[in-house]
Amino acid sequence: MNSDLPRIPSHVAIIMDGNGRWARKRMLNRVKGHERGTETVRTIVRASREVGIPFLTLYAFSTENWSRPRAEVMTLMSLLKRFLNNERAEMMENDIRLNAIGDIGRLPEDVRSTLSKTLEMTADNKGLHLTLSLSYGSRSEIVHMVRQIAEKAASGMLDPQEITEKTVSDHLYTRHMPDPDLLIRTSGEMRISNFLLWQIAYSELFITETLWPDFNRDEYLDILSAYGRRDRRFGKVAETS
Ligand code: FPP
């Protein structure tokens, strides 16, 4: 636990962007950017565990990312598989529980089985809940949630008049975690890109110009510290006014 931080967020969500630009700036293939980006994932997971953040969710692969050139998609899948295989031991050592959200069935069979193995092995860990968003799109998650609620209503299991915000939250992939307190996006784009649209209603947003492969522990800690100084009002007035 890091006592220097004024307030630790319960849940940090990150849109990891800029791997391609990082590589282009160095006249390298985009693959190199994704490889360096994977190193940053390691650094940020470690730092999160160290400061005692309970939930970390990373946007690793979106539904839209399937439209990238086949070679790039294959590279991302093999990096993901390698990451899962290489990090399993450290996840066990550091009490990290892996979770995955998204249309997991679309992932290649070998990635799915590596993922299942890691999910099962880490299922009893409690220190940090690390969620990878894989083949994830928030609108598609919302459609999935609406279908489930509609089916329950149609079969008489649920009275439509009793549907609340909690009912909606309880039917999303993220039902077992709190909403993100903090959403970080790297590489300066001012958009949400179909990530956790319902869940980030009151999240604090931090957008940094730094490209994901250059994002590091110090900048992460600075953002966590700045988050602690923000006045979160959830639509109400400040307590002192
Ligand atoms: C954005 O860079 C990033 C991604 C498409 C996904 C993030 C993937 C990684 C960090 C590597 C693998 C992940 C794990 C969990 C091992 P971009 O290609 O969109 O960059 P650009 O906008 O500069 O082109």
**Domain 11-136+180-229 listed as CATH 3.40.630.30:** no
Residue 184 tokens, joined: 């970080």
128 backbone dihedrals φ, ψ, rounded to 5°: -140, 130
Write the pLDDT tens digit of every residue in 108-120: 999 999 999 999 9
Ligand 1: residues whose CB is within 6 Å? 16-21, 34, 37-38, 41, 58, 60-61, 65, 76, 79-80, 83, 132, 212
pLDDT string in tens for the chain (241-residue length): 555 788 999 999 999 999 999 999 999 999 999 999 999 999 999 999 999 999 999 999 999 999 999 999 999 999 999 999 999 999 999 999 999 999 999 999 999 999 999 999 999 999 999 999 999 999 999 999 999 999 999 999 999 999 999 999 999 999 999 999 999 999 999 999 999 999 999 999 999 999 999 999 999 999 999 999 987 777 887 755 4
Name the DSSP letter for residue 210: S
Give the separation between CA 193 and CA 85, rounded to whole angstroms. Answer: 28
In tens, the pLDDT along 115-169 reads 999 999 999 999 999 999 999 999 999 999 999 999 999 999 999 999 999 999 9
**Cα 55 to Cα 17: distance, rounded to the nearest angstrom:** 20
Catalytic residue selected from 2, 4, 17, 29: 17
Q: Residue 159 has which token pair?
A: 């009275």
Which of 14, 16, 42, 190 gets mutated to test ligand 1 (max ligand atoms within 8 A of its CB)?
16
